[in-house]
Structures are given as C-alpha cells and as structure tokens.
Structure 1
C-alpha cells in the first residue's frame, strides 16, 4: 500500500512535535471531509484509514499509529492482536460509499471492549451516536408529545364543560342531556389529569458504557413562553442524535 503523507513535521532540532490531545467521547455534532485528499487518492479499504487519521476523531496514541510509524499497515490484525490499548478496526465495508470503523480497547488477543463507532459515508466522516442516547432521546420525545396531547385534550374538555354550564337550558330534555354530558366530561377530565401526573417522570436511560462522558444538554425553553402570562412552560424534547443531528446539519471540518 502506498503511504500517504503523515501530518506533523519534525522541529529544527529533529524532534517530533507533541501529540494533540485525544478526541472527546461525544463528537456527534461535527463531520470531517477533505476534498483535496479525495481528489488525490482512491477511497478504498487500503486507504480509508489514512484518510480517517486526518480527522479530529483520530486518537494518535492508538496502536494503529505505532504500526504506521513502523511502515506496517495500520489495520493489520496479526500485529494489533499482539498489542494492548486503544485500536481502530475496519468493521464493515461497502466500497466506495460506506466504511464503518470501530474504536475499541484491547486487553488481550481474545478480549476487546468496544468504545465508539465512526463511519465514512461518501467521503464524509461522522461519529455514530451511542445507542443509549438514541433510546433516551426518542423515549423523551415520545413522552413529551404524549404529555402535550393530554394537556391539550384536558384544556378542551374543560372549555366544553364551562360552555355547557353557561348555556341557558330552554328544553328539559336538552338540559338533562347536557347535565349527563358535563358529568361524563368531568370524569374523563379527572382521568386524563391523573394520567398526565403519572407521565411527568420519564424512565431512566440505560447506563453509559465505561469511559463514556454523556453530552451536556443544550436545549432551551421555547421562545415567547415568558411573554405569555398564565401559560405553563413545557420542557422541550431532547435532541435526537440521528434525526436532529444528521449528516446535513453537522458542523463540517475541512
């Protein structure tokens, strides 16, 4: 395999510059793409790791970097299995459009612990979101809309009840029917309010994997809620790492 130029030049005294800090655990909000590199080299299973090593997702303290410095293919599993520490492996390949790279910690030739997953989609590199974040965001979003639906239904039923009480009954049959409907509406309103109180506490998300730092919440309350007196502020649903931070909406690093 022809080696691509490695970043970093030695200083005047012959020493290599210090290594950059390791990447963060949550970088799902950004993507990386180097069009100049893509125009120069083919994107296949032999060159994809050299392309991935240019991105901010790459940890230069990994075992693959040591193999690169020794002019060994960085994905050679025969050498990686004899080492311990952080490593990257090519998990799935659909040339030339999709490459899935997994970051894992190797403790022995047989024992590895998956940490993070990255994918190269049509030349752009992304970090795949954690499954616990996806479940937590979608469960929270579903509970938000269910609670909002109950609030809307309760307010409409309460309005109908007040309108029925204020109307003048001109016919005895109509008046008796309205009385029955009002009682039924109040009973349904009581049931909806009790269910709404039960839905206020969302279930806890599954535990995070070892060494993972959960992202900080970035959602803000809806605009205009402070200017509307008498209205209850509802917490916005959590950001879905797949729908709301898809490839088209992530920050691009060239």
Structure 2
C-alpha cells in the first residue's frame, strides 16, 4: 500500500529557538538537523528519528522503508538553512509536504503557495474597496445639492438624471445641467470657507499690530 502524505498542521505563526543549544554548538550543515529535531516542527515518527535511535548517519535514509523524511535543502551557514519535509514513496519518488527555514537560530514554517496568494488577493481586494470608498466620498457632495424651493426627493431625482450617461451623445442642455450642479457645489464650498478665511486674517492682523 502506497504511503500517503499526512495532514499538515498550520504552524506558520509559530517561532522556536533554543538559546542554550545555540550557545553550546555551532549551527552548520552537519548539526542543523539535530537542532531541528528539538523543535515542535519535527515529526518523531519520521525515518530521521529511526536513524537517530540506531545511531546511524543521514546518508542511510535511502536504506529505510518509504516514509516521512527531513532533508537539508539549502544552507548559508551560519545564518540561513532551509529544511524540506518529504514523503518518500519509493527510491525514485518523493512528495514535498512542507518547508521550514532557520534564520539566525530561529525556526519557522514557510507558508504554502496557496496561503501566500490568498493573502495577496485579500490585500488587493482591500485596496480596491478602499479606493471605491474614497471615490464615493469625493463624489458625495454632488448628491447633497438641493435647489431652493425643491424637495430632497425631487433634487435627488434631478441629480441622478443629470449624472446618468445618456444613450445619445451628450446634448448641450445635459452638459450645462452637470456644470450647474458642479458650480453650485463649488460656490457652497467657497461660502463655507469664507468666514474661516476672514477669521484667520483678522487674527493675523491683530497679531501683527501687537
């Protein structure tokens, strides 16, 4: 019966290190798997553990039956090591189960490609929603213009009609209607800012006289 890959526990939020071990032993290509075997990421049912019990070296992995194995994938001692967890199905066939990296003695589980892409997609979706929200806020004053003597319901219908793209090319009347709405908004904004500007000028003039 062919071996099947175990269900992986997501431990990407876990970091592990042993300062006492690091103070006593150098971290290099020969010792890194022994250090990794102390961490919660290690699977004690793996073939590496069987070799440790026998007192045999890592080069004897191929002589064991198929199963879970940990292999040093890449190393830039003493700072960075990449360890691969694989399911060996036969001498010629193996399946990657997980990757781990050791950075300056701290061990982490590397996120899967699916998790990485999902995180980036969520970030993109957040930015798109934030952009639409900002655009809605910028256009909101156009929907708050109310003509003198007109009800809010009538004004809302007028603004919606003015901003609705016509089926035919824009007529002169449609363009003037939109221009009038925008001009009204700008005028209201200027009237609201005028008292503030006058107050600031008065304060500045009083300060200069003193």
In structure 2, which of residues 76, 97, 110 is the aligned counterpart of residue 115 of structure 1? 97
Per the normalisation by structure 1, the TM-score is 0.55
C-alpha distance in 2, partners of 1:92/1:108?
23
User: Does 2:48 match 1:50?
Assistant: no
Distance in 1 (alpha carbons) for counterparts of 2:54 and 2:143: 80
Structure with more contact order per residue of length (Cα contacts < 8 Å, sep ≥ 6): 1
Whole-Å Cα distance in 2 between the matches of residues 93 and 183 of structure 1? 66
Q: Distance in 2 between matches of 1:146 and 1:125?
A: 35
Alignment gaps of 5+ in structure 1: 1-21, 169-174, 185-254
- Paired residue total: 154
How many Å separate the matches in 1 of 2:14 and 2:179? 55
Map Cα deviations across residues 146-180 of structure 1 (whole Å, 9 max, x no partner): 012112212321323423x4489xxxxxx986622
| Cα displacement (A) at 1:25 | 1.8
4+ residue runs over 3 A deviation: 165-168, 175-178, 181-184
User: Are 1:27 and 1:127, in contact at CA under 8 Å, matched by a contact in 2?
Assistant: yes
| CA-CA distance at 1:30 after TM superposition | 1.1
Q: Would you tell me which structure has more helix in proportion to its own residues?
A: 2
Paired with 2:8 and 2:174, the residues of 1 have a C-alpha distance of 68
Of the two, which has the highest radius of gyration? 2
Aligned residues: CA RMSD: 2.7
Q: TM-score if structure 2 supplies the norm length?
A: 0.66
Q: Which runs of 5+ in 2 are unaligned?
A: 1-5, 150-172, 183-210
